């Protein structure tokens, strides 16, 4: 990191105030000077404590009368009352420390409030080159995450083109969770995830990781795609050891919300029953219908064999294509409202691919979904 001090970054905000010049109060926008300074390694940010208190329960508690003592409030011509710091030695803790006024020369701790932690002299061995490189990468990742996090707290936009790995979004979510600020930034993170996944080349997201982020920020939009993949994985791996198989795939299965597990199992069983019903109906229809002869190879295979055999072939994730072929082949010969037609339409529901294309395919079944708000694996009435 550069030893030269950087110019502080101002996150200027506008507040509504009544105009004293008018008899009848009117609302006008006024720029108030920042009263908080946050230093993250070499980066200095000047912010408004009012905003941070409103958006983060960490700052609301840390700056409350219970924790913050009046004698620790800074004073000076710059107008800064509160100072927080995260230096390179504390980067592993990833939590800001409030700086006392004045800093005692013999003190072993420079923190107050719920984030207080004792510091001791560092007697560790000097870092080797690989360790130093890893340390610098960690410093860079943390400082970048703080910059984005503080921007979102102050209702500033982040450029989605600056994200290159999904880990950067995960770091941002983790930081918001650490400071109890997820409700304030969840919508912005949801929009960032969608923009990055759709516009940044070679941006890879695996379904379990996206599921974890969606659960953290309670995003109904983001959870739909990994939920489809989760239900499909349950169908493909369902046996006595399917729990371990799902964990090896990276799903937060046993540790995840019980509500998510139960609902995913119900959706998987619903689809398996639907598949079995279609399989029986197609087999009977093909056996007594003349349309099972004289068609191309793929159509003949679909009509003359059990649909289950398709899933056991070398390309098991092609149900979407298979059911579309079945529907196109049989539908002209079915009466309107036929049970088989209804089942085929049901199993092809939403079968147009899911949001994050890097791990999904339009050939997969995507009819698994949360059907009601109460089905989502979180309680909107609870604080988070």
Q: Where a domain ends, among 204, 235, 257?
A: 204
Together in a domain, 77 and 200: yes
Cα–Cα distance, 160 to 174 (Å, whole number)? 18
Total number of domains constituting the chain: 2
* pLDDT tens, residue order, the chain (384 aa): 445 556 666 665 544 444 444 444 444 445 678 889 999 988 889 888 988 999 999 999 999 988 888 887 888 777 889 999 988 776 666 788 888 765 444 433 344 444 443 333 444 455 565 566 677 888 888 889 999 999 999 888 888 888 888 889 999 999 999 999 999 999 999 999 888 887 766 567 888 889 999 999 999 989 988 898 889 888 888 888 888 888 888 887 767 788 888 899 999 999 999 988 888 887 777 666 655 444 433 444 444 444 444 434 434 456 777 777 778 777 777 777 788 888 888 888 876 443 334 444 446 678 888 988 889 998 877 777
pTM: predicted TM-score of the whole model, two decimal places = 0.74
pLDDT for position 10: 62
Asked whether residue 169 is domain-assigned, the answer is: yes
Radius of gyration of the chain (CA): 28
Please report, for residues 53, 100, 215, 251, the alpha-carbon distance to residue 208 in angstroms, rounded to integers and kept in the order given.
33, 42, 11, 5
Helices (H) and strands (E) in the chain, counts: 13, 7
> Which among 315, 286, 316, 314 is positioned nearest to 301, based on CA atoms?
286
Q: Note the pLDDT of residue 128.
A: 60
pLDDT at 148: 93
**Could you tell me if residue 253 is inside a domain?**
yes
pLDDT at 173: 94
The pLDDT of residue 95:
82
Q: Say yes or no: 193 and 242 in one domain.
A: no
Cβ-Cβ contacts under 8 Å for 306 (sequence gap 6 or more): 279, 283
**3-class state of residue 365 by DSSP:** coil
Residues 39 and 177 in one domain: yes
Q: Do 197 and 290 fall into the same domain?
A: no
Task: Identify whether residues 60 and 137 lie together within a single domain.
Answer: yes
In a domain, 126, yes or no: no
pLDDT confidence of residue 104: 45
pLDDT, position 99: 82
Helices (H), 163-315: 166-178, 182-199, 207-217, 220-237, 242-248, 258-288, 297-304, 308-311
Pairing state of beta strands 97-98 and 82-86? Answer: antiparallel
Residues 178 and 319 in one domain: no
Same-domain status, 13 and 158: yes
Range of the domain at 23: 9-118+131-204
In this structure, what token pair is assigned to residue 338? 């036929």
Predicted local distance difference test score (pLDDT) of residue 201: 65
- What is the pLDDT, as a whole number, of residue 352? 46
- For residue 288, being part of any structural domain is answered with yes
Q: Are strands 36-40 and 43-47 parallel, antiparallel or unpaired?
A: antiparallel
Q: Is residue 247 part of a domain?
A: yes
- Report pLDDT for 4: 57
- 123 domain residue, yes or no: no
Please report the DSSP string for 253-268 in residue order: TTTS-HHHHHHHHHHH
63 and 192 both lie in a single domain: yes
Cβ neighbours around 105 below 10 Å, total: 5
How many CA atoms are closer than 13 Å to the CA of 224, on its beta-carbon side? Answer: 19
């Amino acid at each position: 990191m550069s030893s030269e001090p950087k110019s502080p970054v101002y996150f200027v905000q506008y507040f509504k105030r009544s105009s004293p010049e008018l008899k009848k109060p009117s609302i006008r926008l006024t720029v108030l000077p920042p009263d908080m300074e946050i230093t993250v390694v070499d980066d200095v940010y000047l912010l408004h404590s009012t905003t941070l208190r409103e958006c983060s329960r960490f700052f609301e508690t840390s700056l409350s009368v219970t924790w913050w003592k009046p004698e620790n409030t800074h004073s000076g011509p710059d107008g800064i009352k509160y100072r927080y710091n995260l230096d390179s030695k504390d980067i592993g803790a990833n939590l800001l420390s409030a700086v006392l006024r004045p800093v005692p020369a013999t003190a072993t701790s420079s923190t107050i409030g719920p984030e207080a932690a004792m510091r001791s002299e560092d007697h560790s061995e000097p870092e080797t080159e690989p360790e130093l490189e890893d340390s610098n990468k960690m410093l860079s990742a943390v400082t970048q995450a703080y910059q984005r996090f503080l921007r979102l707290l102050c209702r500033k936009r982040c450029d989605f083109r600056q994200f290159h790995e999904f880990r950067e979004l995960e770091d941002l979510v983790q930081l918001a969770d650490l400071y109890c600020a997820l409700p304030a930034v969840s919508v912005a993170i949801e929009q960032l995830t969608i923009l990055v996944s759709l516009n940044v080349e070679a941006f890879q997201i695996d379904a379990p990781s996206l599921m974890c982020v969606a659960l953290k920020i309670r995003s109904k939009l983001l959870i739909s795609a990994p939920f489809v993949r989760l239900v499909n994985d349950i169908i493909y791996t369902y046996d006595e050891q399917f729990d371990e198989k799902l964990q090896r795939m990276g799903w937060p299965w046993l540790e995840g919300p019980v509500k998510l597990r139960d609902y995913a199992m119900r959706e998987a069983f619903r689809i398996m029953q639907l598949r079995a019903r279609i399989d029986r109906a197609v087999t009977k229809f093909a056996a007594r219908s003349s349309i099972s002869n004289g068609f191309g190879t793929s159509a003949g295979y679909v009509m003359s064999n059990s649909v289950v055999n398709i899933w056991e072939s070398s390309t098991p994730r092609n149900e979407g294509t298979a059911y579309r072929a079945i529907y196109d082949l049989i539908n002209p010969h079915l009466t309107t409202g036929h049970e088989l037609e209804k089942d085929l339409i049901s199993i092809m529901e939403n079968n147009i691919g899911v949001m994050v294309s890097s791990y999904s395919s339009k050939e997969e079944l995507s009819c698994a979904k949360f059907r009601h708000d109460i089905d989502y694996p979180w309680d909107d009435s609870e604080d988070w």
